[in-house]
Amino acid sequence: MEKKEERPWCMITEMDQYLFGQGTHYEIYKKLGAHLTEYEGEKGVYFAVWAPHAKGVRVVGEFNCWGSDGYRMNRLEPLGIYEVFVPGLEEGCMYKYLIETEKGDYLYKADPFAFYAEKRPGTASRVADISGFTWHDDRWMTKRAGWNAAESPMSIYEVHPGSWKRHPHEEDEDGFYNYRELAAELTEYIKKMGYTHIELMGIAEHPFDGSWGYQVTGYFAPTSRYGTPEDFQYMIDYFHKHNIGVILDWVPAHFPRDAHGLANFDGEALYEHPDSRRGEHPDWGTKIFNYEKSEVRNFLIANALFWLGEYHVDGLRVDAVASMLYLDYGKQDGQWLPNKYGGNENLDAVWFFKHLNSIIHGRGDGSMIIAEESTAWPGVTKDVDDGGLGFTFKWNMGWMNDFLEYMKLDPYFRKDNHNKMTFAMSYAYSENYILVLSHDEVVHLKCSMLNKMPGYLDDKFANLKAGYTFMFGHPGKKLLFMGNEFAQLQEWSEARELDWFLLKEDRHLHMQNYVRALLQLYKKYRCLYELDDSWDGFQWINADDSYRSIFSFVRYSKTKRKNLLFVMNFTPMERPDYRVGVPKKKKYELVLDSDAEEYGGSGRKRAKVYDAKKGSCDNQKYYVEYPLSAYGTAVFEF
């Protein structure tokens, strides 16, 4: 009997099909897609694609001049996966799947599992081998595995790589920094400022720059705008070698209708729900993933694990979670279908999140998953075993909205809106929160952070410093979008770099200095992060001084050593005779003063240490006297 030659490791087996059909093939990306291999003594590429509704599928590409006479793929049952080995093909070659539908139409589709894509405006996939990179971040990965996210400092710099900085360029060039250039330049800047993490927007391949990467066509491909997959690996490795954590934006909520993408992939709804009331976002013009289908859930879960595993990414920030949880999100009556119980909860999406987060946390490697969730859905960061969704953190959108509404007000009206700044403490420990001032708040006529502030230019800067101080003192991890740290004047646009020239002006340089001081303070003092999930770490001194619009509170460490007292004045009125209540008869050392010359203040000489005096103030037995300047902020260690 003739010996049957073994198929290469990447070829689809019956077990692969079974696991994929069950939604539990967490490394399906190693089977579907395009893989360099050797078969029957010849080197080439093995292609596999899931297209159960297709009448037939061929691989076409630059190797056959994109003709329709490509390599016919063989269908595997029962899932309708098509496969073929093409000898002679090499890394980098461009290809697509030519899908013949049951109606007789022909569709040219990019590979949903491609590791690399042609640079836009091209839409082809490229063969890529991502297994050859030598990582140098063992120390980081080992340290991360023992990381307690809740009790660790986490200050995130949110970056859109294509518009952080750009090279001077001709009209027909983008001027993008590549991944390797970004690695060096961003690392230098992040370390100078004191951020602990970077969050990267728009990494998964997408056709339209104006979507900022939130309409994805290549879920397994780092965008070719900035280089190759190996370049991207180099960047992550470089960040880790310099102790910078990496978070990627991840978009499992929806995908675009582009002809080469996932929409109607094999002539019918495959990745999206077939009923438009479940499968389309009317406001966004995009398709919604079909979370009922196990293969679709598997595609998304494997994709999340792919970024965390193959690219050593430290966390995923899940975009538009609310749109997944609610069947009626952004829809009018008649545009949505209730669940089987008559409610608006998307039960399949809930199950998807619980499954996904259980797998991610079950790995025990310290990786995070963060929800951008804008509603009061309960238990977003609660353990799945306790009935929660299982996310590591949740963006605190409620705090952000109240904070910005307050900060926009003329100081005269702030006394009537004092609760906007205090309300978040009523629910601060219901979830594990990240306080965010993200890209969404500085686009589309929302104004830059600086231009949200009231008053003349000097007032705007002083207001923003006071606001940032409140943010860094408030419980919760921190996120600032690029440009916010030096008070970018224009709204953000993906089409141009940040206005770095502003740093030649004193006001903007002073703002950058002040934010750097806040970031350094945040990392230095454990009281600002290790009890973010407990009332043991926070005490209001005066939450009710609405008439003067002054807030004061204490942040405590676990050991009650090196605690910090925050005082913030949100009016242009000086308070030379200001007294603040304090909980202990101790010495209070001034560690941050917004009135310092290096931050654009008056530079007035002040004492460095203040003795608490006995006397009732702010319901405390002791007080400290401190001359509080207009829009002044002060932080004391005790």
> If DSSP states are collapsed to H, E and C, what string results for 125-160?
EECCCCCCCCCCCHHHHHHHHCCCHHHCCCEEEEEC
Tell me where in the chain the CATH 3.20.20.80 domain(s) lie. 155-523
Q: What is the pLDDT averaged over residues 425-452?
A: 95
Rounded distance, CA 396 to CA 414, Å? 22
Dump pLDDT digits (tens) for 307-365: 999 999 999 999 999 999 999 999 999 999 999 999 999 999 999 999 999 999 999 99
Cβ neighbours, 10 Å, residue 333: 6
Distance CA 192, CA 525 (A): 18
| Residue 464 pLDDT greater than 50, yes or no | yes
Q: Among 9-18, 79-88, 133-142, where is mean pLDDT lowest?
A: 9-18
On the question of pLDDT at 611 being above 70, the answer is yes
Structure tokens at 49: 């694609």
| 356-382 as b/e: b if 16+ CB within 10 A | bbebbbeeebbbbbbbbbbeebeebbb
- Return the closest-CA partner of residue 196 out of 205, 185, 187, 207: 187
Token representation of residue 141: 């990965």
Could you give the residue range(s) of every CATH 2.60.40.1180 domain in the chain? 535-637
pTM of the shown model: 0.95
User: Could you tell me if 541 and 554 are in contact, meaning their C-beta atoms sit under 8 angstroms apart?
Assistant: yes
The top-level CATH class assigned to 155-523 is alpha beta
Inter-axis angle of helices 179-193 and 506-524, nearest 10: 80
- 393 forms bridges with which residues in the sheet? 370
pLDDT for the residue numbered 172: 54
User: How does DSSP classify residue 537?
Assistant: G
Return residue ranges of the chain for CATH 2.60.40.10.
14-126
Are residues 59 and 95 in contact, defined by beta-carbon separation less than 8 angstroms?
yes
Assess whether pLDDT exceeds 90 at residue 171. no
- The answer to whether the beta carbons of residues 67 and 98 sit under 8 Å apart is no
pLDDT band at 603 (very low <50, low <70, confident <90, very high): confident
- 372 is known as an active-site residue: yes
Q: What is the pLDDT of residue 173?
A: 80
Residue 571's pLDDT is what? 96
Active-site hit among 129, 158, 372, 637: 372
Among 550, 560, 564, 561, smallest CA distance to 474 is for 564
- CATH number attached to the domain at 535-637: 2.60.40.1180
* Contact (CB, 8 A) for 555 and 566: yes
pLDDT band at 7 (very low <50, low <70, confident <90, very high): low
Look over the chain and give the mean of its residue pLDDT values, rounded to a whole number.
95
User: DSSP alpha helices (H): ranges in 138-228?
Assistant: 138-145, 161-164, 179-193
Over residues 239-297, the pLDDT tens digits come to 999 999 999 999 999 999 999 999 999 999 999 999 999 999 999 999 999 999 999 99
Cis peptide before 112, with omega less than 30 degrees from 0? Answer: no
Contact between 82 and 48 (Cβ < 8 Å): yes
Reported as a pLDDT band with limits 50, 70 and 90, residue 3 is: very low
The active-site residue out of 111, 137, 319, 497 is 319
Contact 79, 23 (CB under 8 A): no
Residue 322: which H helix or E strand, with range? helix 321-325
Q: At what angle do helices 506-524 and 457-473 cross, to 10 degrees?
A: 10
Is 14-126 assigned to CATH 2.60.120.260? no
Cis peptide before 78 (omega within 30 of 0): yes
Using a 10 angstrom Cβ sphere, with 0-12 exposed, 13-18 middle and 19 or more buried, the burial of residue 470 is buried
Looking at residue 1, its pLDDT comes to 35
CA 397: distance to chain centroid? 14
- pLDDT for 4 equals 45
Q: Spell out the alpha helix ranges (H) of 343-491.
A: 347-362, 397-408, 411-414, 419-422, 449-452, 457-473
